[in-house]
Amino acid sequence: MILKPSQREQILPLPVVLISTVSAEGVRNVAPWSNLTPILRPLEEVVLASWIKRDTLENIRQTGEFVVNVPPVGMEDAVMVSARNYPPEVDEFQEAGLLPHQSSKVRAPGVEGCLAWAECTLEEEIAREKFVLVIGKVVHLEADDRFFNSEGEMDFEKARPLGAILGHKGLHFTYPSFSGRHADYREMFLNPPAQQQRRV
Ligand SMILES: Cc1cc2nc3c(=O)[nH]c(=O)nc-3n(C[C@H](O)[C@H](O)[C@H](O)COP(=O)(O)O)c2cc1C
């Protein structure tokens, strides 16, 4: 079947993260985000796409900071409360019943109960008519030890990080599961060196 351009997000399983920010006045804000990706490796940057009318975007512009929080299964209801279009003066942590997780390098708090927290500073904005791409530099990256091993690898079947498949009238929350195939990064090279750096 041929899909319309407006259905473009429906062909991809998307991550669901929570972006937490504070306004210049100190009001805490949190909102779910799916249009977010790390920018390659080892560049310590992420990019997120934001519609123009977002308190999150306004706060990032005002303070130059934000936190990318990775919520697990179980936080769907709080995620959907934080998706509501509250006015900027409303504390969305309070509305969604979320507790702050102390940040190390930025003023915006993270969200307690999440699996990982990437504290970011605004690096660059790429503005279009209706949306903005925000490039953030990750200045501090932390993960819950209960779900990550000593090499920083997520036990995703235990952690169950939230994802989503979008549909016509709503979305289904998802989480990843192992396909049964592990691949070494060295498989990507025609002539793999004995000790290939883990860099993709
Ligand atoms: C699962 C999910 C993913 C979302 N992803 C995005 C996104 O990538 N970009 C965006 O601009 N809005 C996205 N939204 C919508 C915002 O979360 C929503 O408009 C929210 O109210 C914005 O809050 P704010 O105005 O406090 O920033 C998403 C909503 C949900 C439920």
Residue 180, CA distances (Å) to 26, 177, 183, 189 in order: 47, 9, 10, 22
% of the chain surpassing 70 pLDDT: 96
In contact, 119 and 105? CB cutoff 8 Å: yes
Residue 197 counted as domain residue: no
Residue 1 counted as domain residue: no
Q: What is the separation, in whole angstroms, between the first and last Cα of the chain?
A: 34
Whether pLDDT at 199 is above 90: no
* Average pLDDT score over residue span 69-92: 98
Residue 42, CA distances (Å) to 23, 37, 65, 75, 139 in order: 30, 13, 21, 30, 13
Residue minimizing CA distance to atom 18 of ligand 1: 83
Alpha-carbon gap, residue 173 to 76, rounded angstroms = 8
pLDDT of residue 163: 98
* Average pLDDT score over residue span 23-51: 96
pLDDT of residue 192: 77
pLDDT higher for 200 or 25?
25
Residue 153, CA distances (Å) to 55, 111, 113, 119, 145 in order: 33, 21, 18, 19, 10
Residues with Cβ within 6 A of ligand 1?
16, 29, 31-35, 49-51, 54-56, 83-85, 164, 171
In this structure, what CATH number is given to the domain that contains residue 129? 2.30.110.10
Q: For a pocket test of ligand 1, which of 14, 29, 34 has the largest count of ligand atoms closer than 8 A to its C-beta?
A: 34
Residue minimizing CA distance to atom 16 of ligand 1: 83
* Average pLDDT score over residue span 80-89: 98
Residue with tokens 């952690």: 159
Using DSSP, state whether 135 is helix, strand or coil: strand
Pairing of strands 28-33, 36-38: unpaired
Give the position, in ligand 1's atom list, of the atom nearest the Cα of 30: 26
Q: How confident is the model at residue 33 (pLDDT cuts 50, 70, 90)?
A: very high
Q: Give the CA angle between residues 110, 116, 120 to the nearest 5°.
A: 55
User: Which structural domain, as residue segments, surrounds residue 12?
Assistant: 8-188
pLDDT, tens digit, 9 for 90 and up, residues 101-117: 999 999 999 999 999 99
Whether pLDDT at 91 is above 80: yes
Q: For a pocket test of ligand 1, which of 12, 46, 56 has the largest count of ligand atoms closer than 8 A to its C-beta?
A: 56
- What's the gap in Å between 142 CA and the centre of ligand 1? 23
Beta strands, E only, 79-153: 100-101, 110-111, 116-127, 131-143
Residue minimizing CA distance to atom 8 of ligand 1: 35
Residue 64 counted as domain residue: yes
Give the position, in ligand 1's atom list, of the atom nearest the Cα of 56: 27
Alpha-carbon gap, residue 37 to 83, rounded angstroms = 19
* Average pLDDT score over residue span 71-75: 98
Q: How confident is the model at residue 18 (pLDDT cuts 50, 70, 90)?
A: very high
Residue with tokens 């100190």: 26
Residue 198 counted as domain residue: no
Give the position, in ligand 1's atom list, of the atom nearest the Cα of 16: 1
pLDDT, tens digit, 9 for 90 and up, residues 39-59: 998 889 999 999 999 999 999
pLDDT of residue 10: 92
Residue 3 counted as domain residue: no
In contact, 154 and 72? CB cutoff 8 Å: no
Residue minimizing CA distance to atom 5 of ligand 1: 33
Number of domains in the chain: 1
pLDDT of residue 119: 98
Residue 163 counted as domain residue: yes
- What's the gap in Å between 141 CA and the centre of ligand 1? 22
pLDDT of residue 196: 52
pLDDT of residue 94: 98
Q: Which amino acid is at 94?
A: Q
